[in-house]
Amino acid sequence: MPRNLRNDNIVLTSAIHMFMKFGDIRLAESLFQSIKKKDVYTFGVLMNGYNMNGLSMKCFQILEEMIGENVSPNEII
């Protein structure tokens, strides 16, 4: 990914969604970890990706991480 886009949460969150959609969980997780300030949408996209790929139990780990980073779940998450 070009360096000038690596700090854009919207672009990175969209890329995470794309990689999860194509089943490349490892790359999606790598992008997720590279985001310094994650928001509720970034966490939600990762959790949705795990669900799409049959890894629903990982959502609980992500929810704990989300709360640990002081990101409040919304009505959807």
Phi/psi zone of residue 54: left (φ > 0), alpha (ψ -120 to 50 degrees), beta? left
8 Å CB contact between 50 and 58: yes
pTM of the predicted model as reported, rounded to 2 decimal places: 0.86
- Digit-coded pLDDT (tens) for 5-27: 556 888 999 999 999 999 999 99
Per-residue pLDDT of 56-72, as tens digits, reads 999 999 999 999 999 98
